[in-house]
Each structure stands twice: as structure tokens, then as C-alpha cells.
Amino acid sequence: MKRPEANEYNPYFKKYIDLVKQDNVLKALKDQVMDIQALVSGIPEDKEEYAYAEGKWTIKEVLGHIIDTERIMSYRALRFARKDKTELNSFDENLFVANAKFNKQSLYNLAHEFAIVREANLALWKQFEEEEMSQTGIANKNEMSVRAILFMIAGHTTHHMNVIRINYLLD
């Protein structure tokens, strides 16, 4: 599958798309299931609810944010792939995290939920052919293609895994 062109997404998302090093985005997305499991398995229990600065999310909240974002972005991809031209609204990730109670869950359960969500989404995304991948729609007042959304999801996950490694685990 080809990488998305610059006209398939808002320039803000380039930072995420650039984090996807392989062109086979479905493989990158599948590999992240094991990557998250490996990352989470190495996090000491006393770090699970650690935030590296005032106002920053905990590791559990970061993982919950990855899950919520994937659900929303996958929903957008499905709507666009099915040629639904309804403009979709943005979402406030801080509001979502503040109201999700991720810190009441175990890190293991959050990692398991991520795997379930990702596997369900992969089953959908594997059905998409070039026609579906090229479909576009508008979300948060920005036009984007299904292909770009899949790269965004993969890059967003990589970004937050890097944040966990650097800001939470290297002290």
C-alpha cells in the first residue's frame, strides 16, 4: 500500500505519519499489538499511575488515550470508506481522559483492551481495497483519506509509546 500524499491529511498529522517507517501500514499496526504488550510488561507497578509533570497523564491514561483515539479514528475511517460524506466533529482528548477513570483499571487490562480493539480494527481494515483506502471525508474541519487515517493511528501509537519510554521510564 502506498503512503498517503500530503494532500490526504492536515499537515498537523505529518508528525505521526512520518513515524511509520514501513509502507505496509497494516503490518505496522499488527506489530504494535506485540510492541504495546512488551512495553507494558516492563513497566514497574509503582510507575503505572506516575505522571512525569504536573498536568500530564499517567501511563495508564496515556494507554487509555491511545485506545480512545484509535476507536474514534477507526470510526472515521469506516464512515469515509463507506462513502459517508457527513462531516464529523473533533473530540477533546483531555475531556475523554478526565472522564474515563483509566487509573482504576489495571495496566494489564488496558493493554488487553488495546489488543482487542486493534485486532477488531485490523479485521475491518484488511477488507479495505484501494478504492476504500482512497476515500476521503471531513473530520474536525479537515479532509483526510482512509489511508492517511491508518497511518495516523499507527504513528499516534508509536508517538505515545515513545513518550512513555522517554518521559516515564527514563529517570
pLDDT for 92-127, tens place per residue? 999 999 999 999 999 999 999 999 999 999 999 999
Q: What value does the CA radius of gyration of the chain take, rounded to a whole number of Å?
A: 16
The domain total for the chain is: 1
pLDDT for 45-57, tens place per residue? 999 999 999 999 9
Per the domain annotation, does 86 fall within a domain? yes
Please tell me the predicted confidence (pLDDT) of residue 171.
62
- Residue 134's CATH number: 1.20.120.450
Q: What angle do CA 102, 19, 43 make, to 5 degrees?
A: 40
Please tell me the predicted confidence (pLDDT) of residue 122.
98
Range of the domain at 50: 6-168
- Provide the mean pLDDT of the chain: 96
Query: Which positions ≥6 away from 156 have C-beta within 8 Å?
Result: 16, 66, 69, 70, 73
Q: Decide if pLDDT at 1 tops 80.
A: no
Total residues belonging to the chain = 171
Please tell me the predicted confidence (pLDDT) of residue 59.
97
Rounded to an integer, the average pLDDT of 5-23 is 96
Please tell me the predicted confidence (pLDDT) of residue 170.
82
pLDDT for 128-160, tens place per residue? 999 999 999 999 999 999 999 999 999 999 999
Torsion of Cα atoms, 58 then 60 then 65 then 68, to 10°: -160
Q: Decide if pLDDT at 33 tops 90.
A: yes
Cell digits of residue 55: 498536568
